[in-house]
Amino acid sequence: MLESGALSEAVILVGGQGTRLKPLTCYLPKPMLPVLNHPFLEHTITYLKGYGVGDITLALNYLPEAIQGCLGDGSRLGVSLNYAVEASPLGTAGAVKNAERYLDSTFAVLNGDIFTDLDITDMLAFHRRKGAKVTIALTRVDNPSAFGVVETDSDGRVERFTEKPGPERITSNWINAGTYIIEPEVLGYVPENSHYMFERGLFPLLLELNEPVYGYPFSGYWLDMGTPEKYLCLNCDLLLNKVSNHLIPGLGRESISCGEDVIIHPSARVTGPVVIGSRSQIGRRASITGPIVIGADCYLGEDAGIEEAILWDGVSIGAGARLKQCIVGTSCRIAGGEQVVDCVVTQGDSGLPNRGRLRVD
């Protein structure tokens, strides 16, 4: 039976390492990467909370302790969190099946690497109006080859779902945006304890069975932060308020937001938008040109200059060093006078910094 009433339950897919984000994700799962100095998942959770979805299950397999240790029972964020941990990855649909015990009404599923301002209440109204068993949010992209391409009829009913099509099979620019609304009975089609995907398994099966699967197109902000470049882009978009966030409200081109006990030398030049974490110190004549996020306990030496960069916690930039379009991982040190452009800098096992390219193909 299809239900009425508000949405209260959701599953967030918090899977693997995100191969294109290595080595940033060696010690942190992709959905825990800091965005505006908050784990990415906190943004997703507060987004759901904003729509009244307070009963949230995290479906996870990679570094589960790091996530559970940080987010606990969710009370800090005003939600109730459950954890469905997979012994080995069960795939997107298998992971939700593994969380079935927490699901007893119409629920949402979110890919754990998407930032969007999609209106879930409106999507739910669409889902109910159409009498759908599954509704897939759709966004338009220029190049759909890295996504699931979705074809619908004029009523929005999905006719075809093709995951990561080759160039000859791209029939639409509307893609799966990684947010679904699902009726619980659909999980009856998903095998227990087996690797099974929505994209290559359940969706094609439901279409074959002529079950009502609908596509909900929307035109708001949407970003899959699965590469370093996209991750940097997301932080910049939030700083520039191209999309709003619930954790640090009021950001914009001019804004400078500092945590506790930040020390900025009076001769330093700070141009927004900038977020600076607690206890960080900005030295004499240093220059910071936003969009910039500086983590907690960072240090910027004399005459150092950074532009469009994300520094995680405990980063130290030596005197006179210059950074542009960079992501610098926890506790990395950049030596005085160095020039670092278009780079991802992380701490290697030897303690020496590793440098990778910001743009990966």
> Which residues are near ligand GDD by CB under 6 A?
13-16, 59-61, 86, 89-92, 95, 111-114, 147-148, 163, 175-176, 178, 199, 224, 226
- Here's the x/- map for Mg ion, 235-274, by CB under 5 A: it reads as ----------------------------------------
Contacting Mg ion within 112-141 (CB under 5 A): 113
For the bound state, the minimum distance from the C-beta of residue 107 to Mg ion, rounded and expressed in Å, comes to 20
85 beta partners: 60
How far apart, in whole angstroms, are the C-alpha atoms of residue 41 and residue 35?
9
User: Burial letters for 258-288: b for 16+ Cβ neighbours within 10 Å, e otherwise?
Assistant: bbeebebeeebebebbbbbbebbbbbebbbb
CA angle 63–178–241, rounded 5-degree value: 90
Among 224, 297, 303, 313, binds Mg ion (CB under 5 A): 224
The residue (of 60 and 345) whose beta carbon lies closer to ligand GDD is: 60
The residue (of 115 and 216) whose beta carbon lies closer to Mg ion is: 115
The residue (of 47 and 299) whose beta carbon lies closer to Mg ion is: 47
For the bound state, the minimum distance from the C-beta of residue 306 to ligand GDD, rounded and expressed in Å, comes to 29
% helix / strand / coil in the chain, to the nearest 5?
25, 35, 45
The residue (of 148 and 272) whose beta carbon lies closer to ligand GDD is: 148
Residue 354 and residue 345 in contact, taking contact as beta carbons nearer than 8 Å? yes
Pick the closest to residue 20 from 359, 285, 290 (CA basis).
359
CA dihedral 304, 310, 316, 318 (to 10 degrees): -20
The entry of ligand GDD, Mg ion, none that residue 16 binds, CB within 5 to 8 Å by partner kind: ligand GDD
Which one-letter amino acid corresponds to residue 99? A
Residue 313 and residue 27 in contact, taking contact as beta carbons nearer than 8 Å? no
For the bound state, the minimum distance from the C-beta of residue 106 to ligand GDD, rounded and expressed in Å, comes to 20
Length of the chain: 361
Q: Which of the ranges 49-57, 225-233, 251-259, 312-320 carries the binding residues for Mg ion, by CB under 5 A? A: 225-233
Residue with the closest Cβ to ligand GDD? 15
- Residue 229 in the binding site for Mg ion (CB under 5 A): no
Residues forming contacts to Mg ion in the complex (CB under 5 A) are: 113, 224, 226
